[in-house]
Chains A and B, each alone.
Chain A
Amino acid sequence: MSSKDAVNDLLSRTKAIVDTIVDGVITISDHGLIETVNPAAENIFVYKKEELIGKNVSMLMPAPYQHEHDGYLRNYLNTGNKKIIGIGREVTGRRSDGSTFPLELAISEMEVNGQRMFTGIVRDISQRKDTEEKLRELLARTKAILDTIVDGVITISDRGLIETVNPAAEKIFGYRLDELSGKNVSMLMPNPYRAEHDQYLNNYLSTGEKQIIGIGREVTGLRKNGSTFPLELAISEMEVNGQRMFTGIVRDISERKETEDQLRSAMRRVHEQQIKDEFIATVSHELRTPLTSIKASLELIIGGAIDKKSSQADMLINIAHKNSDRLLLLINDILDISKIESEKMQFNRQDIRVKPFLETAIFDNQAYAEKHQVKFILKQCPDSLYINVDPDRLMQVMSNLMSNAAKFSNQNSVVEISAYKVDNSVRIAVSDKGRGIPNDFQNRVFDKFTQADTSDKREMNGTGLGLHISKAIVEQHNGALSFISTPDKGSEFYIDLSILEGSHKGHHSE
């Protein structure tokens, strides 16, 4: 290739570049007249090349720059004082339709054939400006939000050091930003969380196991004044310039907690009152039932509805008498319940040997056995078992269990009473081969005023309070009353009580 060809080639390459680049390229003479423009410059200013060539470049500027430009140029040429030469200046451009737009301008100076010329490279930065403006606005908004929200927002580095804190966080913890900045965030937590925090963070960073990331955890915060308070914490993870960071959003929930506590205790009081009301209503119902039979029987006799000497009168007197007993039982049981619930039941505990105690129980409750035609037998009881109990109260429990067993046994069957050692306890069991407890009733056996529904009420006459009282008495002895029951096969109720240390022969005299 000749040198001429080489120059032509270079020229055509240069032209191709200038014609295709997105930046506008304008050359002007030292008088400020446009000499060349590339297609990008035509597009940017919306002029055709012919409309620009030979015109003063100031036509591409809005007032007041338009008038100032020639002055600048002259000044530069005379003094060398560069007011316009250089790169990256942001100025305002003017399109053919008169609209203006921000542009970035780089001006360089050159000499062609001894003549000084200037090249301007212009870039329309409307879009960038617009984006910058939006970003600025967004930042301002974000700051306003962070400055005004009631939740505290704290960002920390992956080493747990506090980087930013919003005013709410300052207020919540009682610190100023400068007291927190750069400090380990664990200063805002009381022990033991403080000690655990770094460990959590290290663990998370090394294993990815999220023990702390997430929302809505309730934790305890520590204020500058040393007081602690409940707070709700949400932690999220983010990456800023390739560096892992954490944002914690904290909300002081002291007030909410207090309100919740108040609400809970109010609900508890309402519930307790409801239970009390229901109990009173049930007691009233249970007392009125035998009273109805007593009162009506007597009124029929007194009112002269029947002959006082008739067998019907005898029957009515019997009804009144029987129901008086029932009323008395009820009143005693209700008094027991009231004592248990107000924790006023007195226990006169003493060491007793189990065997004679059970023998007495069988003797004392013989009437139940006869009434229901069953037999109580002491099946098993080592001589050397001792327990520490209130014998009268435990006898009350035995009477309850034995009378229940008799009531629900088949006629001519045996009710077995036994006592034996189970680990460190003495178990006293009352076992019948009766009808058992219906499965759907088993979980209510110890409730107040409950009796299994049955069509056969021949010998029900209980108050529905016995087992509730028995369980309470056994529990007052730090023992347990439990049962196993199979419908139609029978039930076994058993009392577990602590064995008395040194349960052996001759431990105590009777």
Chain B
Amino acid sequence: MSDITQLERLMYIEDEPDIRLVAEIALTQVAGFNVKICKDGNEGLEAINDFKPQLVLLDVMMPGMDGPQILTKIKALDKFKHIPIVFITAKAQTEEITKLKKLGAESVITKPFNPMTLGDDIRTIWRNHYVYEAMKYATNRKQAGTGWS
């Protein structure tokens, strides 16, 4: 049985075919993830229930549904509203990154990314998310009281 604290399955939605290809190599062959790569939001939202990603990577500027719109749709799904969503974007200006984080993204990775370290970067984001969630859970339990103290 897999360890739920380990990141294994991730989904990446990206409209640029060449970036999809290099990212797939980086995330599977280099980083060893089980990756579902989708070309747009519709494909991603269709696949999400079956694939059950632990984390979603999203491009921002895409025709049709853009990254922020896809984020909103995923956050509206009961099963996936708590999974971390990370934007991978060529919008690299500080104010653009701040804006994306405010939308509820866990983190923002800017393009061009380094394919040799992309997996490590995502694992760090995952770990931070996991630690933060665990601490939040513990704090909530303490505040609610266990009945033993």
Contact = CB atoms under 8 A, between A and B. Distances in A.
Nearest to A315: B21
A300 B26 contact: yes
A322 B112 contact: no
Interface size bucket, A side? 20 to 34
B63 A288 contact: no
Contact of B112 (A296, A319, A451, A453): A296
A417 B64 CA distance: 32
Interface residues of B, number: 29
Given A289-B111, A305-B30, A455-B63, A300 B93 contact: no
Contacts, number: 89
B145 interface: no
Contact of B90 (A289, A297, A319): A289
A11 to B, nearest CB: 106
Interface stretch (B10-18, B50-58, B131-139): B10-18
B19 interface: yes
Interface string A265-308: 00000000000000001001110111111111101100101100
A300 B113 contact: no
Q: Which of B18, B25, B92 counts the most A-chain CB atoms under 10 A from its CB? A: B18
Interface in A422-473: 451, 453-455, 457
A306 B29 CA distance: 8
Q: Which of B22, B30, B93, B113 counts the most A-chain CB atoms under 10 A from its CB? A: B22
A438 to B, nearest CB: 11
A354 interface: no
A56 B70 CA distance: 108
B91 interface: yes
B30 A292 contact: no
Nearest to B111: A292
A211 B108 CA distance: 63
A316 interface: yes
A316 B21 CA distance: 9
A315 B21 CA distance: 9
Interface string B81-102: 0000000011111001000000
Given A284-B92, A289-B16, A300 B111 contact: no
Interface string B105-140: 000001111111000000000000000000000000
B26 A289 contact: no
A148 interface: no
30 contacts: A281-B93, A284-B90, A285-B92, A289-B16, A289-B111, A290-B18, A292-B16, A292-B90, A292-B112, A293-B16, A293-B18, A293-B22, A295-B114, A296-B19, A296-B23, A296-B112, A296-B114, A296-B115, A297-B18, A300-B22, A300-B25, A300-B115, A305-B26, A305-B30, A305-B115, A315-B21, A319-B18, A319-B22, A322-B18, A457-B15
The 4 closest A-B pairs by CB, nearest first: A453-B63, A288-B90, A296-B22, A293-B18
